């Protein structure tokens, strides 16, 4: 369906053209003063410069030249040249009727679907997921669902960190602890055991230990670097250990992501890009882009317009080993071969912005990606504690993601908890807890830091996930009661299907019109969020819908209504409200319970 903004913009563009002005000036926006009007057009202001005429005169010309239509109820000109607009109630109802009948509440899918790869999650194998991984998972998952909803082909890739120094650290520490394992015997020719020589708990202990030790002991660090390089060069025993480390780590990562309702199509890692490195390096050398600098192989990526120095992109370190830049570039080679994407999005901590800037420039300059491939860095801010510093556990340690989820779930308070079945209660707390976390995150612009305030996020009041769920559960319960009392109406509504008009333009209270008008903005809100990679726009939209619904619910005694036509219209309105909310929270990555 065309958005209401587009419907109005078409009418006002015609009016500008009829009055002899550029049609492009007729763009309509949602009113900045909802107390005065529903929509506005500010084109006369821009026209003033172009036509050297007072904006007020232009605005008057335009409204005099408004084409015939059955949409606009009132137009007025306000100094210095704003055009204020309200639309007809009949139009609102026709529009809602169409939304009700159309799939996905009338959202128009992309005409030219793109292939989009989203690189998010980015967990490092052998290290537990912690609060620093939360935002990538939550934002990435939402952008995946949002772009899929918009009609694009989206491929989600977890891009495991499994090729760097952390692997060498684990391998080296293991070689000290269990030197007799066959993996360390260079003359060993046989098959390696299929069972790993360590479990998850061991790995979770080994990595922090080895990492701490490498910071104090230069020789230890050097040995870990050597092990990393040997693993990368293909030493058999080390590759076998790498497979074990991934094999032990991956199921745990999958379990954690499942708790977050986050899922990937590909669980590829940096190590999967390794086979693409040699040809990529050769290509960069053959084309004359890569050259030796202080032993390392680099590509210059600075540009004239840079205001700050941008160091060259390092392709290989002086010992010939691959680093973060190398695997990211080789992964792009792989993605280009496998999927030929139109766009690759990276949802990563904004502090990695410079890394991606260099990788993107290098990829373009050397032809790793086609010139038209869009590379986007969606950099996000930090999750802070109430003290404004990065979120920590009470004892000052990094908080594991699983611990964080447990804590939030334990904070969710539910009325009548005592009488509930234990399993049911647990599931309910999980659903609400997840909504609290995800909404608390996504309501902020991605690039901002935010304060992780569990009590606030888990509250049923205010701008929170549980408040949205509470509103939806309220609607579900009203609908269930109405169905019981008036079986004929719900039957008629579901059977009426697409033909019969259900919405009534006779709004009985102004809050009903307010709610209806906000519902018409659904497609616009979702499409803006998609275009701007901004989940927060969906959050503010559903907060507005929820508020408007609750005001309306307060004003109108829905359950006491007896008139059948009014009832039918009310059921249609609140069902649509529920559907719109449901689509939106699905995009955000959580769901609503039936009661709470
Ligand atoms: N594993 C990385 C980290 O923990 C994040 C990976 C992000 N994605 C990428 N393609 N570099 O910092």
DSSP 297-349: EEE----TT-SS--PPEEEE-TTS---HHHHHHHHHHHHHHHH--SEEEEEEE
SS3 36: coil
* Closest ligand 1 atom to 324 CA: 11
Location of structure tokens 């370190």:
317
Q: Answer yes or no: are the C-beta atoms of 185 and 153 closer than 8 Å.
A: no
Closest residue by Cα to atom 7, ligand 1, is: 122
Q: Answer yes or no: are the C-beta atoms of 239 and 184 closer than 8 Å.
A: no
Location of structure tokens 């612009």:
445
Give the pLDDT confidence score for residue 558 in this predicted structure: 93
Dist. CA 286 → ligand 1 center (Å):
29
Model confidence, pTM = 0.95
Give the pLDDT confidence score for residue 395 in this predicted structure: 81
Which of 119, 158, 161 is the best mutation target for the ligand 1 pocket, counting ligand atoms within 8 Å of the beta carbon and taking the most?
A: 161
Location of structure tokens 């293909």:
234
CA-wise closest residue to 313 among 289, 337, 349: 289
CA distances from 366 to 191, 281, 297, 458, 552 (A): 41, 10, 14, 49, 59
DSSP 66: P
Residue 14, Ramachandran bin (φ over 0: left; ψ between -120 and 50: alpha; else beta): alpha
Q: Strands, DSSP E only, in 446-551?
A: 450-451
CA distances from 241 to 125, 174, 268 (A): 12, 10, 17
Give the pLDDT confidence score for residue 504 in this predicted structure: 81
Location of structure tokens 């608390």:
440
Dist. CA 199 → ligand 1 center (Å):
24
Closest residue by Cα to atom 5, ligand 1, is: 122
* Closest ligand 1 atom to 132 CA: 4
Q: Answer yes or no: are the C-beta atoms of 481 and 57 closer than 8 Å.
A: no
Give the pLDDT confidence score for residue 505 in this predicted structure: 81
Measured on CA atoms in the order 285, 286, 287, 288, is the torsion positive or negative? positive
Residues 6+ apart with CB under 8 A from 423: none
- For the chain, 596 residues long, give each residue's pLDDT as a single digit of tens: 999 999 999 999 999 999 999 999 999 999 999 899 999 999 999 999 899 999 999 999 999 999 999 999 999 999 999 999 999 999 999 999 999 989 999 999 999 999 999 999 999 998 888 888 999 999 999 999 999 999 999 999 999 999 989 999 999 999 999 999 999 999 999 999 999 999 999 999 999 999 999 999 999 999 999 999 999 999 999 999 999 999 999 999 999 999 999 999 999 999 999 999 999 999 999 999 999 999 999 999 999 999 999 999 999 999 999 999 999 999 999 999 999 999 999 999 999 999 999 999 999 999 999 999 999 999 999 999 988 888 888 788 888 999 999 999 999 988 888 889 999 999 999 999 999 999 999 999 999 999 999 999 999 999 999 999 999 999 999 999 998 998 887 776 665 554 456 888 889 899 999 999 999 999 999 999 999 999 999 999 999 999 999 999 999 999 999 888 888 899 999 999 999 999 999 999 999 999 88
Cα 551 off chain centre by: 29
Give the pLDDT confidence score for residue 501 in this predicted structure: 65
CA distances from 34 to 44, 249, 507, 556 (A): 20, 53, 18, 21
DSSP 401: H
Closest residue by Cα to atom 10, ligand 1, is: 328
Separation CA 104–CA 199 (nearest Å): 46
**Strand order through the sheet with 82-87:** 28-30, 39-41, 82-87, 72-78
Q: Answer yes or no: are the C-beta atoms of 513 and 92 closer than 8 Å.
A: yes
Tally of CB atoms within 10 A around 386: 12
Dist. CA 483 → ligand 1 center (Å):
51
CA distances from 468 to 356, 439, 473, 521, 553 (A): 36, 9, 9, 18, 14
Tally of CB atoms within 10 A around 317: 16
Give the pLDDT confidence score for residue 414 in this predicted structure: 87
SS3 188: coil
Separation CA 251–CA 469 (nearest Å): 31
Closest residue by Cα to atom 6, ligand 1, is: 122
Q: Answer yes or no: are the C-beta atoms of 493 and 573 closer than 8 Å.
A: no
Dist. CA 359 → ligand 1 center (Å):
13
Separation CA 170–CA 242 (nearest Å): 9
Location of structure tokens 């333009």:
505
Separation CA 245–CA 199 (nearest Å): 9
Give helix then strand counts, H and E, for the chain. Answer: 21, 13
Q: What is the largest CA-CA distance in the chain?
A: 91
- The structure tokens listed for 585 are 């929270």
Give the pLDDT confidence score for residue 494 in this predicted structure: 66
Tally of CB atoms within 10 A around 73: 14
Task: List, in sequence order, the alpha helices (H) in 369-464.
Answer: 401-411, 422-442, 454-457
- The structure tokens listed for 382 are 């930090």
Residues touching ligand 1 (Cβ under 6 Å) are: 119, 122, 124, 159, 161, 328, 346, 348
Measured on CA atoms in the order 584, 590, 593, 596, is the torsion positive or negative? negative
Give the pLDDT confidence score for residue 498 in this predicted structure: 47
Separation CA 536–CA 562 (nearest Å): 39
Q: Answer yes or no: are the C-beta atoms of 399 and 391 closer than 8 Å.
A: yes
Q: Answer yes or no: are the C-beta atoms of 490 and 530 closer than 8 Å.
A: no
Location of structure tokens 């639309």:
87
Dist. CA 440 → ligand 1 center (Å):
23
Cα 416 off chain centre by: 34
Location of structure tokens 């230990």:
209
Closest residue by Cα to atom 8, ligand 1, is: 122
């Amino acid at each position: 369906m065309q958005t209401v903004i587009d419907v109005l913009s078409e009418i006002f563009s015609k009016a500008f053209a009829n009055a002899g002005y550029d049609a492009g000036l007729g763009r309509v926006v949602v009113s900045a003063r909802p107390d005065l009007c529903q929509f506005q057009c500010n084109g006369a202001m821009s026209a003033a410069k172009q036509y050297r005429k007072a904006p007020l005169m232009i605005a008057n010309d335009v409204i005099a030249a408004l084409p015939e239509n059955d949409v606009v109820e009132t137009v007025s000109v306000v100094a210095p040249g704003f055009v204020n607009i309200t639309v007809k109630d009949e139009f609102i109802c026709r529009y809602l009727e169409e939304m009700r009948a159309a799939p996905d509440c009338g959202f128009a899918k992309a005409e030219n679907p793109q292939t989009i790869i989203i690189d998010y999650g980015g967990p490092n194998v052998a290290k537990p997921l912690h609060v620093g991984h939360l935002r990538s998972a939550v934002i990435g998952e939402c952008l995946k669902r949002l772009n899929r909803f918009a009609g694009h082909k989206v491929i989600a890739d977890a891009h495991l960190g499994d090729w760097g120094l952390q692997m060498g650290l684990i391998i080296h520490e293991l070689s000290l602890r269990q030197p007799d394992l066959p993996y360390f015997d260079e003359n060993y020719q046989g098959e390696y055991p299929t069972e790993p020589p360590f479990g998850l708990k061991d790995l979770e202990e080994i990595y922090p230990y080895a990492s701490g030790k490498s910071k104090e002991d230069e020789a230890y660090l050097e040995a870990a670097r050597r092990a990393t390089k040997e693993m990368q060069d293909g030493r058999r025993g080390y590759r076998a250990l790498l497979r074990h480390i991934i094999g032990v780590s991956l199921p745990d990562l999958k379990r954690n992501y499942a708790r977050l309702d986050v899922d990937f199509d590909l669980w590829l890692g940096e190590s999967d890009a390794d086979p693409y490195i040699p040809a990529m390096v050769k290509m960069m050398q053959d084309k004359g882009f890569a050259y030796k600098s202080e032993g390392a192989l680099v590509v210059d990526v600075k540009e004239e317009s840079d205001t700050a120095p941008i160091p060259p992109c390092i392709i290989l370190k002086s010992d010939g080993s691959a680093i973060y830049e190398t695997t990211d570039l080789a992964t792009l080679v792989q993605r280009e071969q496998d999927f030929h994407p139109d766009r690759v999005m990276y949802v990563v901590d904004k502090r990695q912005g410079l890394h991606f800037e260099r990788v993107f420039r290098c990829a373009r300059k050397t032809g790793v990606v086609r010139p038209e491939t869009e590379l986007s860095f969606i950099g996000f801010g930090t999750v802070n504690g109430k003290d404004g510093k990065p979120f920590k556990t009470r004892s000052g340690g990094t908080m594991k993601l699983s611990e964080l989820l447990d804590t939030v779930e334990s904070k969710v308070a539910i009325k009548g908890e005592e009488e509930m079945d234990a399993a049911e209660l647990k599931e309910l707390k999980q659903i609400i807890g997840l909504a609290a976390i995800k909404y608390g995150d996504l309501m902020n612009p991605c690039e901002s830091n935010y304060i992780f305030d569990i009590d606030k996020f888990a509250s049923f009041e205010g701008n929170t996930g549980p408040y949205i769920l509470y509103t939806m559960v309220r609607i579900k319960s009203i609908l269930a009661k109405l169905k019981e009392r008036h079986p004929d109406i719900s039957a008629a509504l579901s059977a009426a299907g697409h033909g019969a008009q259900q919405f009534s333009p006779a709004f009985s209270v102004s809050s009903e019109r307010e709610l209806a008008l906000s519902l018409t903005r659904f497609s616009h809100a979702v499409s803006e969020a998609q275009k701007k990679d901004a989940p927060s726009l969906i959050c503010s939209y559903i907060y507005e819908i929820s508020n408007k619904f609750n005001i309306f619910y307060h004003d109108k005694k829905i359950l006491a209504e007896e008139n059948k036509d009014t009832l039918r219209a009310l059921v249609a309105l609140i069902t649509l409200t529920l559907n719109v909310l449901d689509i939106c929270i699905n995009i955000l990555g959580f769901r609503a319970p039936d009661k709470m």
